[in-house]
Chain A
Amino acid sequence: QKEVEQNSGPLSVPEGAIASLNCTYSDRVSQSFFWYRQYSGKSPELIMSIYSNGDKEDGRFTAQLNKASQYVSLLIRDSQPSDSATYLCAVMGYGNKLVFGAGTILRVKS
């Protein structure tokens, strides 16, 4: 079992819709969770962090964490073509080591 699992996609949504990206992790003691966005040919860019159960909203982005189910999700409201990218879920492990999922490709169609 991989430590962090994501559906590779691609996930295709029409412009203006809500994109829902999901991630599960195996290390039950993990406390810090992150979502990175990576455009093709670019480095990962941090867009959300979440540490407590529940929802955290930042603009059009909402991160959701459920530690009991070992599940993290990212919702993107009013999706734009510029949101088209690979979204990487990352879980902080021991020693400041970030464990990444393989990423979900999101395509927003105008």
Chain B
Amino acid sequence: KAGVTQTPRYLIKTRGQQVTLSCSPISGHRSVSWYQQTPGQGLQFLFEYFSETQRNKGNFPGRFSGRQFSNSRSEMNVSTLELGDSALYLCASSLAESTNEKLFFGSGTQLSVL
């Protein structure tokens, strides 16, 4: 069974640009969550999607947005990039059939903003 797939693996952008990251969950998993990881802040929750609906959102500005498609694939968009957006962005998927769900992470997208 294929794991969580994130593309691209690396991205280099400049301030003010926008970026779109993609995530394909494990087959059969309907929930996709996004996390930002930085050395200073650790892993921070961005948002979670289930059946194309955003169910929960973390404390990030509106420049961070996402969506989920009918096949459970998800995209995350960051507009007007800032230097502080440089981070590893991780996508995680789960079955989301109960509150005890285990999350499985993809390899992440390393975003560098210059």
B111 at the binding interface (Cβ < 8 Å): no
Task: From known contacts A43-B107, A43-B108, A46-B104, infer whether A100 and B56 are also in contact, taking CB-CB under 8 Å.
Answer: no
Q: Is the CB of B99 within 8 A of A97?
A: no
Residue of B nearest to A86 (CB): B42
Count of chain A residues with a beta carbon within 8 Å of a chain B beta carbon: 23
Complex CA gap A46/B105 in Å reads 8
- The minimal Cβ–Cβ distance linking B54 to chain A, given in whole angstroms, is 10
Q: CB within 8 A of B99: which of A31, A44, A45, A46?
A: A31
A residues apposed to B, CB below 8 Å: 31-32, 34, 36, 42-46, 49, 51, 88, 92, 94-103
Q: Is the CB of B33 within 8 A of A42?
A: no
- The minimal Cβ–Cβ distance linking A7 to chain B, given in whole angstroms, is 14
- The minimal Cβ–Cβ distance linking A75 to chain B, given in whole angstroms, is 20
Q: Is the CB of A96 within 8 A of B42?
A: no
Q: Which residues of chain A are near B42, meaning CB under 8 Å?
A: 100-103
